[in-house]
Homo-oligomer: A and B are copies of this chain.
Amino acid sequence: MMQDVDLAPGVGYIDGQYLPRAGIALPTTDVGFKLCDMCYDAIHVWRGRFFRLEDHLDRFARSIAKRRFNFPFSRDEVRAILTECVRRSGLRDSMTMLIATRGDMLGPGFDLRRCTSRYIAWADPYYAVISEAQAREGVPVAISRVPRVPPDSVDPTVKNFARIDFADALYDAYEQGCEHALLLDREGNVTEGRGWNVFAVFGGTVVTPDSGVLEGITRKTVLELCARGNLEPRVAVLPGGDIARADEVFMASTAGGLMPVSRIDGTPIGSGAPGPVTRRLTDLYWELHEDPAYTTEVVY
């Protein structure tokens, strides 16, 4: 079982104020509450440097545009407020969040176009989606019977919190003795887990699902790193029945980087231990964190 994250050092921002992290709360007058009409991004700080900050800000801006929010903060303001959360927290390794909501609406049937977005940000101590033991040994994953919400109903490329399907999928996983669930789409193809993309390694080819998923920044990084690792990246349909036959499988998330999967529905993946491709890409991923082209220093 994983440890709780101590939020005490965290700092957040809402409605013009910097507050202790645990004090950040969403007003129930916000349509973000009533319709889950929000989008977000998560960025990590490693050894005092943001990783791919501008890529995340690009995606956050795209999400806000796709949701057609009236978002009154400039990109520079978004970056400055987030950085200030990290600076005030003093955290050298941090998971940060940027959230844009639809904004307040008083009453039930009003015009969403009249709302003005709220911007919420925070910096927490860094954490991974899995435990340290699981990162060493690999993590068992269950394929859930709950189908992922389809992209034409809720666009998964806009990172959002409307994830009841993931909550139900986790219960499915618990019943199979797993803490993590992988969801299929309605055609039975692999999509993603709650907060992570998935990769399957077949020989020298590294496959990740092409649609119905968040276009993760860690996913993007892995695809780019394949060239350095002499591997062929492939963005394609990945049938649910194929994934357990892969030589290696790993999760990819800002919260943990690359994380090896040991079993799927009880079937060992390869040897059941983290494989060489996963290990090689993981090393390349963390090496990138020392490259100034990929990182932005926080001045504390």
| A interface residues, Cβ below 8 angstroms from B | 1-7, 12, 22, 24-29, 31, 33-37, 67-68, 95, 102, 106-113, 120, 122, 127-131, 146-150, 152-154, 160-168, 170-171, 174, 179-180, 186, 194-195, 255
Contacts and interface: CB of A to CB of B under 8 A. Distances in A.
Given A33-B26, A107-B4, A111-B174, A153 B165 contact: yes
Which 7 residue pairs across A and B have the least CB separation, nearest first? A25-B25, A162-B162, A5-B107, A4-B106, A35-B163, A37-B167, A149-B153
5 contacts: A5-B107, A7-B106, A25-B25, A34-B163, A112-B170
A174 B4 CA distance: 44
B161 A36 contact: yes
B120 A107 contact: no
Contacts of A6: 106
B27 A25 contact: yes
Contacts of A170: 112
Contact of A28 (B25, B109, B148): B25
A36 to B, nearest CB: 5
Contact of A162 (B129, B146, B164, B179): B164
A113 B174 contact: yes
A35 B29 CA distance: 19
A110 B2 contact: yes
Contact of A110 (B4, B7, B102, B255): B4
A12 B35 CA distance: 19
Contacts of A122: 28
B194 A35 contact: yes
